[in-house]
Amino acid sequence: MKKRGLLIVISGPSGAGKGTICKALLQKNKDLKLSVSCTTRAPREGEKEGVNYYFVSKEKFEDMIRKNEFLEYATVYGNYYGTPKSYVEEELNKGNDVILEIDIQGALMVKEKYPDGVFIFILPPSMEELKNRIIKRGSETEDSLKTRFNSAFEEIKYMSNYDYAVVNDYVEEAVKKIECIIIAEKCRCSRVMDTVCFNQEG
Amino acid sequence: MKKRGLLIVISGPSGAGKGTICKALLQKNKDLKLSVSCTTRAPREGEKEGVNYYFVSKEKFEDMIRKNEFLEYATVYGNYYGTPKSYVEEELNKGNDVILEIDIQGALMVKEKYPDGVFIFILPPSMEELKNRIIKRGSETEDSLKTRFNSAFEEIKYMSNYDYAVVNDYVEEAVKKIECIIIAEKCRCSRVMDTVCFNQEG
């Protein structure tokens, strides 16, 4: 039996740096598979179809909902975001580890379906820094900035639903920690027991 | 409040290579503290007082038992082995991580007192290899070899009581995995939550 891969969920408040961390993590670890989400929001500058997101219309998204094609989906600031089920399942069954970069609302839904997943919460170094990052992103109006910041603060309270928390003060350090978490999770007794076979004859 | 250190219990069947792994782990990580056990067995060649064990008389050991000075103690092949409580507690309270290299019987006792400890089971690559290692050690008679081997086989069944299992096929690899387990455990939400403080003012 082929050993199933790990589902690694990278999540946390808006502005914590999930995206930067995932990008660096994937660049260093070519065998990790990134699950690309669907969204109905407009692409930000530099975002590419099929790399950052699949950008789809509201009609298409709602059709996919009806066909039960999402692992999870949610509405955030009036836009749909969702994780297509098929890709994740295929890669896990092939034995590949899959990275899900996802907001907290979505992560909690995934956790219900994949309690065996590894849930990592990315923390900004401080709330001050979080504010700066949201401002720097520059795509926000004064009002949406306030909404995002308050929401990020509320979201940090969900940390206790996760397995791990990684503070994103230095991206490289954060990535190293996530790599260690993946290696450690593969050493969990429950996982190792499926792969070792000992008999008294040696 | 100073953050308490991690108690890292390295355990597993006789001949799995716990000692070799701990030695290499400690050489690479100078801030890890090794808890040195007391034993009434005779020193093996090369073993040093206060480094490998504190070699004490049966009378002294039983006196320490009466004074409740052990975290755990056990009789293995007719000899006492025990972990003095004071050193472990002092170092953990200073915020230092403490390594306990200990047999399975002892590890299970420690787990009752320190459920927060990180329990790592060292596995030999195979039972064949385990037999070779016990023979190579050369300090065993035919009978004690058989006893040790059968006991090692029985002991592997206790793996499920541990958090992690690390196969000792290459010492360097095994050490790297343990280093990752330590880093990952420090990222556990329950531990991070004690150290981060966020307020809405930033």
The boundaries of the domain holding residue A24 are 7-35+96-198
What residues in chain A have their Cβ under 8 A from chain B's Cβ atoms?
Answer: 120-121, 123, 126-131, 150, 153, 156, 159-160, 162-167, 176-177, 179-181, 183-185, 187-190, 192-193, 196, 198-202
B134 falls in which pLDDT band (50, 70, 90)?
A: confident
List, in sequence order, every residue forming a beta bridge with B121; answer none if it has no partner. B11, B165
Looking at residue B199, its pLDDT comes to 56
pLDDT, chain A, mean: 88
Per-residue pLDDT reduced to its tens digit, B142-157: 787 788 777 777 778 8
The answer to whether A198 contacts B163, with C-beta atoms less than 8 Å apart, is no
Tell me the backbone φ, ψ of residue A69, rounded to 5 degrees: -95, 5
Residue with tokens 């070799």: B20
The answer to whether A159 contacts B185, with C-beta atoms less than 8 Å apart, is no
Q: Provide the number of CB pairs (under 8 Å) joining chain A to chain B.
A: 114
Looking at residue B140, its pLDDT comes to 65
Q: Report the CATH number that the domain containing residue A103 is assigned in CATH.
A: 3.40.50.300
Residue B72 in any domain: the answer is: no
| Stretch B73-80: mean pLDDT | 89
| Crossing angle of helices B18-28 and B171-186, rounded to 10° | 60
Per-residue pLDDT reduced to its tens digit, A8-42: 999 998 888 899 999 999 999 999 999 998 999 99
Cα Rg of chain B (Å, integer): 18
Residue B82 in any domain: the answer is: no
3-class DSSP state for residue B24?
helix
Residue A77 in any domain: the answer is: no
Nearest CA in chain B to A127: B202
State the pTM of this model.
Answer: 0.84
Residue A188 in any domain: the answer is: yes
Residues 6+ apart with CB under 8 A from A75: A81
Tell me if B5 is assigned to a ligand binding site: no
B24 falls in which pLDDT band (50, 70, 90)?
A: very high
Residue A2 in any domain: the answer is: no
Looking at residue A202, its pLDDT comes to 42
Chain A residues with beta carbon closer than 8 angstroms to that of B123: 192, 196
**Structural domain count of chain B:** 1
What does the DSSP 8-state code read for residue A160?
A: G
Residues 6+ apart with CB under 8 A from A135: A145
> In a mutagenesis test of the B interface, which of A128, A176, A183 is the best target, namely the one with the most B β-carbons within 10 Å?
A183
Distance (Å, whole) CA B186 – CA B202: 24
Residue B47 in any domain: the answer is: no
List, in sequence order, every residue forming a beta bridge with B84; answer none if it has no partner. B70
Which two structure tokens, joined as six digits, stand for A48?
């590419």
How close does chain A come to B2, measured CA to CA in Å? 19
Residue with tokens 């994937």: A26
Residue A114 in any domain: the answer is: yes
Distance (Å, whole) CA B47 – CA B50: 9
Q: The complex's ipTM? A: 0.83
Looking at residue A198, its pLDDT comes to 60
Per-residue pLDDT reduced to its tens digit, A102-160: 888 889 999 998 999 999 999 988 767 777 777 777 666 777 778 877 777 777 889 99
B136 falls in which pLDDT band (50, 70, 90)?
A: confident
Residue A40 in any domain: the answer is: no
Per-residue pLDDT reduced to its tens digit, A159-175: 999 999 999 989 999 99
- Burial-class residue B170 by CB neighbours within 10 Å (0-12, 13-18, 19+): exposed
Which two structure tokens, joined as six digits, stand for B154?
């029985």
